Amino acid sequence: MNLGRIEIPYGAQNLIIESGKFAKQANGAVTVTYGGTIVLVTTCMSKDVKEGTDFFPLMVEYQEKTYAAGRIPGGFFKREGRPTEKEILSARLIDRPIRPLFPAGFFNEVQIVASVLSSDGEYDPDVLASIGASAALTVSDIPFEGPIGVVRLAIVDGQYVINPSYQQREQSPLDLILVGLKDGVIMIEGEAHELPEDKVIDALCFGFESLQAVRKIQLELAKSVGKKKAQVEMYVSHPGLLKKVKELTLPKLAEIYRIADKEERKNGFNKLLKDLTKDLSPFETYKTNDREVTVNDIKAALEQIEYDEMRRVIFEEKRRADGRGYKDIRPISCEVNVLPRTHGSSLFTRGQTQSLSVATLGTRTDEQMIEALEGKSYKTFMLHYNFPSFSVGETKPMRGPGRREIGHGALAEKAIRPVLPLKEEFPYTIRVVSEILESNGSSSMATVCAGTLCLMDAGVPIKAAVAGVSVGLITGEKESVLLTDIMGLEDHFGDMDFKIAGTRKGITAIQLDLKIQGINLDLMGKAINQAKDARFFILDKMHAAIALPRQELSSYAPRITTLHVGQENIGEIIGPGGKTIRKIIEETGVTAIDIEDDGTVLVSSANKEAMDKAVRFISGMVEVPEVGKIYMGKVKRIMNFGAFVEFLPGKEGLVHVSELSKEYVKDVNAVVKVGDEFKVKLIEIDQMKRLNLSKKQAE
């Protein structure tokens, strides 16, 4: 195989794509290099279609090898295991833009594997993996209607930065990934700090121009080392079958499309399919691709009729399946404090989509430790999204969260994160869980709304309320229609799912997925502004339920008191092997005491008395003894020359026998006993730093 290499300037480094050196048995393989980061991306295609397959089986895997950063995996098993959340989200980042670019009717299995081989810890490999997937498909013999260009944008010192470093992204009010073709955008994933719509649109325009160079070099690489595309048999529905299905179903479909309720409409479709299958039996009458027609063929034909009928109703009757206008939002209800023993809870319902969200406040010990290629970090805000099968009236085994659940939770987390208080202002670990109880379109945006409400109910001082909405798109031969607040049917048969979340001030999260090959920037701008109007409407509904975060935390939430000590005191508070800090926790009854490197001490407890006791103990430990000051002391030891008294936590001084009483003391034991408490006055700190106390002078 010929070696191919293309290199262009791309941001702060050169982007290098090479093919022909690694994984030569794959249909296509490339390495993408940026600085010290290298990603190997391979793609393979099955020779034949598995019998009974009625969809395109695309599998995308993204793997971060710890050796890439010169580390050995932590934990008991010293090898990579199940995908991390970061790997799952990166795999989705690859999958979403390329999936619409395979030919219709292409049902061969395709697998893409992106492996991070080297990481400099400065630049995220996820964008490189996405570029590599496009390049590997472009140089392979697999049918693919790309390539795509991919770019990540940040704003540093008011200027756009292409492929920013991790450090630049942390400082930027925008972290945006944009994927595009020659004439339009095909995928967006982004987080912003309440950026106005016009600023986001400007960034999209800049990013779209920037990504074109990445597209062009892939075409150049394909010219030199690309394979001829394989001739693959595509699934084509038999025209006679399609015509017959249309004759039998169209009048009934028109009636079903006037049913507003999702469940009734679904039952109508199922009955229609059952009757249709019965009417068309025996199937031998129709053949598709020289084979007998199956139930899947009939189902595919019916779906095509549904697809066409939905568009006809939209364009000709100017209405949607549930009777709404293009910009209408389904009825919304908002409730807070729906669960009595949680720290914060809410129920957000929009049409037949419902999220029950719960906020839980924890301490520093509840932070999530994340080991990634760029290093170890700690996460203080987590949003988890659950999608049980009953939410759509189905029966399925209960398993762990899938890629969809991980992705939806991550999007909602991005949307809310910019409005959270700083850790210094609110030193809690925050977890929000969204339980989707009903689903009929855009449950991730319902999660944003419900998540905001439950945080306010918990008393988290967020900067502003966040709401989200999804805008869909129906394209026709002569016109295109944008639909606000899409339901499941419009998501399934529509061309776009454009999710935008934000406050009244601006956008906090944005995500675009398409089923068509790109939309132009003008249409995208219209969708962003249409979503703004809808967002404000939803925020009004949320405001009616709870206008501001509660002033007091739930009585069931832990309280955290912050105090600061000198860094030289940290070791004293912790003690040898943590002995002292454990003693404080045991004696006072607080939940936890956490100490940061800068001397910040966080005392956590649900009991105010215990917390106050621990705070006094720690404050006393670090307090500098002051000559002339009177303290309350406790006798720890008795000697024949006096008594040693603890007057501050961990600090003892000697009350000499002559300072015990105004009277002459012959026997110390006759005057005080171990455990006695009385006031003492610090009368001297001698040259050897010994502390001398007086009971006599304190009295």
> In terms of pLDDT, which residue wins out, 450 or 78?
450
* Band (302; pLDDT cuts 50, 70, 90): confident
CB atoms within 10 A of CB 400: 7
* Residue 26: DSSP 8-state: S
Architecture of domain 332-545: 2-Layer Sandwich (3.30)
Alpha carbons 499 and 485: distance in angstroms, whole number: 9
Position 287: which residue type? K
Do residues 145 and 399 touch, judged by C-beta distance below 8 A? no
Alpha carbons 657 and 640: distance in angstroms, whole number: 8
Mean pLDDT (the chain, rounded): 90
> In terms of pLDDT, which residue wins out, 289 or 326?
326
* Band (288; pLDDT cuts 50, 70, 90): low
Task: Give bridge partners of residue 682 from the DSSP assignment.
Answer: 693
Those residues whose C-beta lies under 8 Å from the C-beta of residue 399, and which sit 6 or more positions away, are: none
Q: What's the CATH class of domain 559-622?
A: alpha beta
Alpha carbons 389 and 437: distance in angstroms, whole number: 9
Residue 339, burial from CB neighbour count under 10 angstroms (0-12, 13-18, 19+): middle
Mean pLDDT confidence for 634-643: 88
Structure tokens at 506: 């601006």
The whole-number pLDDT of residue 284 equals 54
Render pLDDT for 597-628 as a digit per residue (tens, 0 to 9): 888 888 888 888 888 888 888 887 777 788 88
Do residues 111 and 61 touch, judged by C-beta distance below 8 A? yes
In the chain, % of residues over pLDDT 70:
98
Q: Is the dihedral of CA 379, 385, 386, 387 positive or negative?
A: negative
Residue 14's H or E segment, with its range, is strand 13-19
Checking if the pLDDT of 666 tops 90, the result is no
> Fold for domain 630-698?
OB fold (Dihydrolipoamide Acetyltransferase, E2P) (2.40.50)
Alpha carbons 321 and 309: distance in angstroms, whole number: 10
DSSP per-residue letters across 385-433: EE--GGGGT------S--HHHHHHHHHHHHHHGGGSPPTTTS--EEEEE
The region of weakest confidence among 103-107, 125-129, 287-291 is: 287-291
Domain boundaries, given as residue ranges, for the chain? 4-225, 239-316, 332-545, 559-622, 630-698
Q: Is there a shared CATH topology between the 4-225 domain and the 332-545 domain?
A: yes
For residue 594, give the 3-state DSSP assignment: strand
> Fold for domain 4-225?
Ribosomal Protein S5; domain 2 (3.30.230)
Residue 29's H or E segment, with its range, is strand 28-34
Q: Where are the alpha helices (DSSP H) in 140-261?
A: 166-171, 197-225, 239-256
Q: Residue 322 — φ and ψ, nearest 5°?
A: -95, 10
Structure tokens at 572: 């004293």
* Residue 558: DSSP 8-state: P
Mean pLDDT confidence for 382-399: 91
Do residues 659 and 671 touch, judged by C-beta distance below 8 A? no
Q: What distances in angstroms separate CA 23 from CA 5, 147, 470, 616, one per listed residue?
A: 16, 21, 41, 65
Checking if the pLDDT of 519 tops 70, the result is yes
Position 565: which residue type? V
Rounded to the nearest 10 degrees, the angle between the axes of helix 295-316 and helix 262-280 is 130
Alpha carbons 659 and 695: distance in angstroms, whole number: 6
Those residues whose C-beta lies under 8 Å from the C-beta of residue 154, and which sit 6 or more positions away, are: 160, 161, 164, 168, 169, 171, 172, 174, 175, 176
* Residue from 212, 46, 220, 65 nearest 129 by CA: 65
- Side-chain-side CA neighbours of residue 615 (13 Å): 17
The region of weakest confidence among 203-212, 355-364, 450-459, 688-697 is: 688-697
Give pTM, 2 decimals: 0.86
Alpha carbons 474 and 58: distance in angstroms, whole number: 25
State the pairing for strand pair 291-292/287-288: antiparallel
Query: For the domain 239-316, what is the CATH code?
Result: 1.10.10
